[in-house]
Amino acid sequence: MLRKFLLPVLFLAVAATSAAQAQTKSRLNQILERGSIRVGTTGDFNPMSVRDPATNSFKGFDVEAAEELAKDMGVKVEFVQAEWPTLIAGVVSNKYDIFMGGSSMNMARARTVGFTLPYTEAGTLPLVLKDNAGKFKTWGDVNQAGVKVAVTLGTVFEEQARMHFPKAQIVAVQPPAAGYQEVMARRADVTITSNVEASQLVQRYDQLVITARDEPRNRRPFAYMAAQDDVVWLNFLNSWVTMKKADGYFERLEAKWMPR
């Protein structure tokens, strides 16, 4: 009788132990056992992550990096559609193992999720028409009376323009209008945006050019997001980022997706 009673108890104890071990198993081990890594990405941040509606597939700087990470791990990559408003929740709820799609580091996010070491950074740069490039070589050239700086109303770039160009005239346009459109229409002399967006704009519109390339302001590092409490997984990711930076991998991605 005692044996009959003990066997179910032992079985339940073993099952509970196995469940607990599964819950505490690092995502690194889960990914290797599963044979695939779930990568959250939005597909709406060119050139970091872009969704192609024709093929329903993703491409971009961080999409290529995700494929490289999967290859180095010897697993397949599974892209999971992520949305900016629920980005943090997707990491915390284990909807994906990592977010790769151009997320900048900030302290508000760092309270809830873990960040890898930075792999690149974004900074603010001026954009002008090519025929005005000689007039606006530096930030100081822009901060002059009579210069019109166009930005989209309510954006961080409006705040930055008012901070950096107190002598200039700030032209804040209502969305969906954009600062670069005002420059192209010659209603403004300069606009400012991130180097990430600027690299795409100068490819799309050959009349635009980036100035003060060596003087980006308001720099913010980009890093990948993962579960804050999984030290093993974060340590692996940090090792991967470190080694890829050392061999110039991210520089090559920048040259491809964010050409100067």
Tokens 């977010």 belong to 99
Number of domains in the chain: 2
Q: Is the confidence at residue 183, as pLDDT, over 80? A: yes
pLDDT digits (tens, 9 = 90+) for 52-85: 888 989 999 999 999 999 999 999 999 999 998 8
Of 20-24, 52-56, 69-73, 123-127, the least confident: 20-24
Q: What pLDDT does 13 receive?
A: 45
Separation in Å, CA 232 to CA 65, 157, 229: 20, 38, 9
**Rounded CA separation 133/126 (Å):** 10
SS3 at position 78: strand
- Per-residue pLDDT, averaged over 127-135, amounts to 97
Q: What pLDDT does 217 receive?
A: 95
**Rounded CA separation 243/192 (Å):** 33
105, 229: one domain: yes
SS3 at position 1: coil
Q: Are 202 and 260 in contact (CB under 8 A)?
A: no
* Long-range CB pairs of 232-237, under 8 A, 24+ apart, other chains included: 232/26, 232/27, 232/28, 232/29, 233/26, 233/27, 233/28, 233/97, 234/114, 234/116, 236/28, 237/98, 237/116
Q: Is the confidence at residue 7, as pLDDT, over 60? A: no
Q: Are 70 and 38 in contact (CB under 8 A)?
A: no
What residue numbers bound the domain in which 133 lies? 122-219
The proportion of the chain whose per-residue pLDDT surpasses 90, expressed as a percent, equals 77
**Rounded CA separation 144/167 (Å):** 5
163, 203: one domain: yes
Residue 118: which residues within 8 A CB-CB, separation 6 or more?
105, 221, 222, 223, 241
- Helix (H) or strand (E) segment spanning residue 207: none
- Per-residue pLDDT, averaged over 211-238, amounts to 95
Q: What pLDDT does 16 receive?
A: 43
Q: What pLDDT does 154 receive?
A: 83
Residue 53: which residues within 8 A CB-CB, separation 6 or more?
none
pLDDT digits (tens, 9 = 90+) for 133-172: 999 999 999 999 999 999 989 888 999 999 999 999 999 9
> Among 46, 40, 35, which Cα is nearest to 258's?
46
115, 235: one domain: yes
- Helix (H) or strand (E) segment spanning residue 235: helix 231-246
Reported as a pLDDT band with limits 50, 70 and 90, residue 176 is: confident
- Per-residue pLDDT, averaged over 43-54, amounts to 90
Q: Is the confidence at residue 104, as pLDDT, over 80? A: yes
137, 158: one domain: yes
Q: Is the confidence at residue 89, as pLDDT, over 70? A: yes
Reported as a pLDDT band with limits 50, 70 and 90, residue 18 is: very low
Which pTM does this prediction carry? 0.77
**Rounded CA separation 233/214 (Å):** 35
Separation in Å, CA 245 to CA 127, 223, 238: 28, 13, 11
Tokens 């490039």 belong to 133
Q: What pLDDT does 24 receive?
A: 80
21, 56: one domain: yes
22, 112: one domain: yes
Cross-strand bridge partners of residue 98: 39
Q: Give me the sheet containing 49-52, strands edge to edge.
A: 44-45, 49-52, 57-59
> Among 45, 27, 51, 52, which Cα is nearest to 37's?
27
Q: What pLDDT does 15 receive?
A: 45
236, 210: one domain: no
Q: What is the CATH number of the domain that holds 242?
A: 3.40.190.10
177, 203: one domain: yes
- Per-residue pLDDT, averaged over 230-252, amounts to 98
Reported as a pLDDT band with limits 50, 70 and 90, residue 10 is: very low
